[in-house]
Structure 1
């Protein structure tokens, strides 16, 4: 095999492709698989002067019936050549980085740059931009061999590299959120990114060896955490690959010194201190997610006496889940299987599934963390009790039986606090702010209503 390195212009490649002198061998090539977004971004890269990867071509010479033909077969680069050719023939218009921001997902610095080819096809580019496109150089390796097996072997070797994982690809995204996740999720190849102790020690993860799994979990936790801070504690978002990609691009200007980011790091610091390596059964990604969200709920409302009980409460929950897994085929499986464990296996990165798991998790953990002492003696009920009662009542007000929005929920003492009624789940009722009983008569009426329904003794 002989290989010759040279450069060709986009115009040359387009013309050869148009004249059927540059083809892919269908015997081992996969056909056209790029979508319109990938094609548009390639052309955008050419017009911005970004260098493109090398294209590998097989110089084929044949003699048939006294006639000689020559041409080129594509070994590697079929998708790029096809996209270049289609654009040159007017097949599609390019992205406007601002108008098409949702689909294009260009970083902010590109959106702030002029884009003279926005929403234009090749014909509308004008002579200067057309020339920039057609005259762009692409490195090419021309292979000469009469042994088809050598070409196939080269193709296999070119495709045989390990592709980037989804998180390894995100690590290359522009923007400040990328750096934040590298800091907490770790990338030990770089000294400045050793990874947070919560992931490295408490969870026993290995960010230098796991192809980005630690950073992906860090990103999933961060996305859920920041979404709930913005949308409310009753809101859970998807954390699948597309959702993470979207969050990265939507938060290019992320402030790692913001109150929210500092709070998340402080929570991870505390959990790394409390959850010591080797003291618990192996913690999975979902355990870490729910532990962080629970700690966020406890963080502001309660005196920190819960900290000393958290490791034991976690052990109790993990043990119950393990026992629950053993009942999964039983006629009546444990609630730890039906309401939690099975949902770590099915659609586990969907917001509604995460919410279902977390509501069960926090109610069980709340029971194990008692007694919780509120910081605010006037407010009495914290967000954790508020959340449990909200779901126990199926989001309906105890007074009017009408659906409640999380943001308008208040907790009422069924037996008046001033008369010795305890601040407990059993003595609480979630109500609309407007429905909250304000007089002794209203309080008595609600107590009688709930007593009649079997709610209180």
Structure 2
């Protein structure tokens, strides 16, 4: 199997779809299942000129038409937007004045400058050719077997001071050799990062009964709202206290059953 790459703009891609040079419904695709909000998020990404994942297509025997191996939802969304079937959501964070001004607009109603920006946006396309039977299907399965990210893993993509603070708490825990053997759970899928993000959030509110959603925590990272010095110091001291308790338990061979919920409560009340 051979692969080559091209970078056509969206105007070219749209015309190929309309001329049936690109087949959006090959047998191995799953159908158009994206929600309206997800489609609008892709359009917003393109209008901000941010990077979009590449498309994988298979070149047919006629050396002209292509079947979409991976990226069907993205191409369907682009086609539908340029067909005026999708309206822009100009209220997505981080706020952008240019996009807020065209909130609710369809493609044909965009200002000329913004319309050209969309049409000229280029997407990397990997074209597969000279392949053996079964190779495209195997590639499709490999491209679509990735794990669903946890909230903590998604938040970790937001580079900033908040992420740095959380990482420092986790590093302190590791430096003091406080881990799965004592806590009862590991940092798999960034579980410790999630623990400290929630702790910091509740300590700022001084309310253990609050129940922040993944969106609340994502906004914390996205807006880079730093924890106060008071909360940071309190959590650092609480981690040292937990490490001391762990050493005492270990040295005296005391059997203590700790859960994620109990360690959360311990850290919270020690920090208060």
Q: Shorter-normalised TM-score: what interval?
A: 0.7 to 0.9
CA RMSD in angstroms, aligned pairs only: 2.9
Any residues of structure 2 matched to 1:371-450 within 5 Å, and which? none
Which residue of the partner structure matches residue 86 of structure 1?
80
Matched, 1:238 2:238: no
Higher relative contact order (CA 8 A, sep 6+): 2
Shift of 1:132: 0.8
Check 1:280–1:12 CA distance in 2 against 1; reply closer, same or farther (3 A cut). farther
Q: Supply the distance in 2 between the matched residues of 1:195 and 1:256 (Cα, whole angstroms).
A: 21
Which residue of the partner structure matches residue 379 of structure 1?
none
Q: TM-score, normalised by structure 2?
A: 0.82
Q: Supply the distance in 2 between the matched residues of 1:55 and 1:149 (Cα, whole angstroms).
A: 19
- The more displaced of 125-134 and 141-150 is 141-150
Matched, 1:203 2:197: no
Which residue of the partner structure matches residue 290 of structure 1?
265
Check 1:198–1:287 CA distance in 2 against 1; reply closer, same or farther (3 A cut). farther
Which residue of the partner structure matches residue 265 of structure 1?
236
Q: TM-score, normalised by structure 1?
A: 0.52
Q: Which runs of 5+ in 1 are unaligned?
A: 63-68, 187-192, 300-457
Check the 8 A contact 1:171/1:182 in 2, yes or no: no
Q: Which has the larger radius of gyration?
A: 1
Q: Supply the distance in 2 between the matched residues of 1:271 and 1:165 (Cα, whole angstroms).
A: 26
Shift of 1:83: 1.5
Check 1:165–1:247 CA distance in 2 against 1; reply closer, same or farther (3 A cut). closer
Q: Supply the distance in 2 between the matched residues of 1:248 and 1:183 (Cα, whole angstroms).
A: 18
Check 1:165–1:125 CA distance in 2 against 1; reply closer, same or farther (3 A cut). same
Check the 8 A contact 1:219/1:244 in 2, yes or no: no
Q: Which runs of 5+ in 2 are unaligned?
A: none
Which secondary structure state, in structure 2, belongs to the residue aligned with residue 115 of structure 1?
helix
Q: Supply the distance in 2 between the matched residues of 1:6 and 1:180 (Cα, whole angstroms).
A: 41
Q: Supply the distance in 2 between the matched residues of 1:33 and 1:157 (Cα, whole angstroms).
A: 20
Which secondary structure state, in structure 1, belongs to the residue aligned with residue 69 of structure 2?
strand
Shift of 1:9: 1.0
Shift of 1:286: 0.8
Check 1:194–1:36 CA distance in 2 against 1; reply closer, same or farther (3 A cut). farther
Any residues of structure 2 matched to 1:55-454 within 5 Å, and which? 55-61=55-61, 70-96=64-90, 100=91, 104=92, 106=93, 110-111=94-95, 113-116=96-99, 118-119=102-103, 120-145=105-130, 147-186=132-171, 195=174, 197=176, 199-200=178-179, 202-203=182-183, 206-207=186-187, 210-227=188-205, 229=206, 233=207, 236-239=209-212, 243-250=213-220, 252-276=223-247, 278=250, 279-296=254-271, 299=272
Any residues of structure 2 matched to 1:7-26 within 5 Å, and which? 7-26=7-26
Check the 8 A contact 2:204/2:228 in 1, yes or no: no
Check 1:185–1:94 CA distance in 2 against 1; reply closer, same or farther (3 A cut). farther
Check the 8 A contact 1:175/1:254 in 2, yes or no: no
Q: Supply the distance in 2 between the matched residues of 1:124 and 1:174 (Cα, whole angstroms).
A: 35
Check 1:17–1:282 CA distance in 2 against 1; reply closer, same or farther (3 A cut). farther
